[in-house]
Amino acid sequence: MSADVTARLQEEDLPEIDVLGQAFHDDALAVLRKARAQGTLARSRRGVEVLDYDTVAALVSDDRLDSQNAGVYARMGGPRSLLEFAEDGLLVGMSGEKHRRIRRVFSAAFRVRHVQSQRPLMREAAADLAAAWASDSCEFVRDFSSPFPMHVLCRLLGVPVEDIPLFTAAATELHLLAAVPLAPGFPRIDAALQTLSEYITGLVRRRRDEPRDDIVTSLITVQESEGRLTDSELAWNLVNLIFAGQDTTRYQLASVVRAVAQAPGAWERLATEPELIPAAVEEALRLYPVTRFIVRIPRDDLIIGDLRVRRGRRVILNLLAASRDPSRFERPDEFLLPRPGPHFSVPFGWGMHHCLGATLAEVEMEEALRLLIESYQDVRVIGIPAMTPPPGMLYGPESMLLQFAKKRA
């Protein structure tokens, strides 16, 4: 991946993936396998698609490539709220000193030891939601995986329980930021961002007047004592925290439960070997990654494989293809517990763009799965889950019917 090597391929030489076509909609994995049989690169309306694990892992933290930033959304005609959010709150699109300054402040709230100490809170939130289920079935996304991460996050932020529906509705709308195409969702994105921004601005104002033992008060203290964050950066990064903490976890948690419930004997094995629960979550992250691709944009011409990628061209790091790369993973389409050999190490990004909430999301999913395995048996996914549109960046069940039997106390 050097600018010095002579490229042997032109982009038109690459196999084309029609991400909006019926074949991709019906079976994206089959389409990706066919493209990968012709090489490690492909092209689509999204950009140049990178399909193998090793190249994806190398490029995800390559400092010669940038993430999408506010300028990209401006060229698309995005609303002002989105441009402000991208400029001051969307860490994944930032670089340089501003990114490092904001990341240092917010990373204090997600230290591993602190997150691990919140396991009882997460378990309590999971038990409260499961207690409201019917005796033998539930619509898992609606009744659990969608409200659960927001219940946890709002307790950490010190947000009143009665405000959780407002947060959940607005944060859920922001899944449209991962849609392909993006522009049709701008009105709904704008409304959701304005709702969240207004609420967070008011919450910050109240915490300045009446400090509490929560994340918002801690961030205000750092901001006021060290002057590291502007008011806009504080507010929009809290919005980003809510967005990232809600959408990815609700899809990924549903996919974790789906993977374990559908793998022969996995649910029963975890009931007797709960120490394997973290490995089960990790394997489900590989098999059903909630983030299907990551966008990177080279600042200068760059050679990837045998292809010269021009400056400014979108490079799509295809995590779905990488997660099933047969050159990396033994029996890549199977749920193996524990998985032998190398693990899938890129679902939350690497380096300076490693997700700040990765540990929080993983621990949330572990505690939710632990509670469900201890409480229920004979768990089955009924029918085929309704999934998000396949071309989008985020992918997972929009609805999923579970049937189960409650264990006796």
Q: For 23-60, how does the pLDDT look when each residue is reduced to its tens digit (9 = 90+)?
A: 999 999 999 999 999 999 999 999 999 999 999 989 98
pLDDT on residue 176: 84
Q: What is the 3-state secondary structure (H, E, C) of the chain?
A: CCCCCCCCECHHHCCECCCCCHHHHHCHHHHHHHHHCCCCEEEECCEEEECCHHHHHHHCCCCCEECCCHHHHHHCCCCHHHHHHHHHCCHHHCCHHHHHHHHHHHHHHHCHHHHHCCHHHHHHHHHHHHCCCCCCEEEHHHHHHCHHHHHHHHHHHCCCHHHHHHHHHHHHHHHHHHCCCCHHHHHHHHHHHHHHHHHHHHHHHHHHHCCCCCHHHHHHHHHHHHCCCCHHHHHHHHHHHHHHHHHHHHHHHHHHHHHHHHCCCHHHHHHHCHHHHHHHHHHHHHHCCCECEEEEEECCCEEECCEEECCCCCEEEEHHHHHCCCCCCCCCCCCCCCCCCCCCCCCCCCHHHCCCCHHHHHHHHHHHHHHHHHHEEEEEEEEEEEECCCCCCECCEEEEEEEEEECCC
pLDDT on residue 346: 62
Q: For 153-209, how does the pLDDT look when each residue is reduced to its tens digit (9 = 90+)?
A: 888 888 888 888 887 888 888 888 877 788 899 999 999 999 999 999 999 999 999
pLDDT on residue 175: 80
Average pLDDT value over all residues in the chain:
87
Q: For 103-135, how does the pLDDT look when each residue is reduced to its tens digit (9 = 90+)?
A: 777 776 667 677 788 899 999 999 999 999 988
pLDDT on residue 227: 64
Question: What CATH architecture is 75-291+333-406?
Answer: Orthogonal Bundle (1.10)
Q: For 131-147, how does the pLDDT look when each residue is reduced to its tens digit (9 = 90+)?
A: 999 889 999 999 999 99
Asked whether residue 370 carries a pLDDT value surpassing 60, the answer given is: yes
